[in-house]
Amino acid sequence: MKNKLLRFFACLILIALSVQSISVEAQSFTTQYALPSGDLGDSDFDVSSERVFVPPSEESLRLTQEQVQAFDCATVTDAPKSECEALVAVYESTNGAGWKDNTN
C-alpha cells in the first residue's frame, strides 16, 4: 500500500511539472506570436476597432449566385469533385463575390 501511495504522489508531481512546463511554453508562444498592436500597413485589419456586420449588397449576392450556377466541378482536374463542391458551397454561403480580397 505504501509503494502504491508513493507511486501515486510521484505521478502527481510529474503531471504537475509537465503542466507547468506546458503553461510556460504556451506563454512563450503567445508572447512570441502575438498580434501586433498599431499600424499594420496596407492591411484592412484593425485590432483596436470593433467588428461591425455589413450586410451584403444585392449586387454581390446576385453575382455570387450567377458564378455558382455557371461553375461546373466536372471540369476541375486539380481536386476531387466532392472537394470542389464543398469549396463552391463555402464560396456561395459566404457570398464570395462580396469578398474584399478574392485574389486566389
Query: Within the chain, where are the H helices?
Result: 2-32, 58-70, 81-93
- What residue has cell string 507547468? 20
Q: Which residue segment(s) compose the domain that 69 sits in?
A: 58-98
Instruction: Note whether residue 14 is domain-resident.
Output: no
How high is the pLDDT of residue 84? 95
Instruction: Note whether residue 4 is domain-resident.
Output: no
Instruction: Note whether residue 80 is domain-resident.
Output: yes
Instruction: Note whether residue 52 is domain-resident.
Output: no
pLDDT digits (tens, 9 = 90+) for 21-50: 565 555 655 555 555 555 555 555 556 678
Instruction: Note whether residue 30 is domain-resident.
Output: no
Asked whether 86 and 76 are in contact (CB, 8 A), the reply is no
Q: Does the pTM exceed 0.85? A: no
CA distance 54 to 60: 12
State which amino acid sits at residue 72.
D
Asked whether 97 and 63 are in contact (CB, 8 A), the reply is yes
Please give the tally of structural domains in the chain.
1
Instruction: Note whether residue 53 is domain-resident.
Output: no
More confident residue, 9 or 30: 9
Q: What is the H or E stretch that residue 96 is in?
A: none
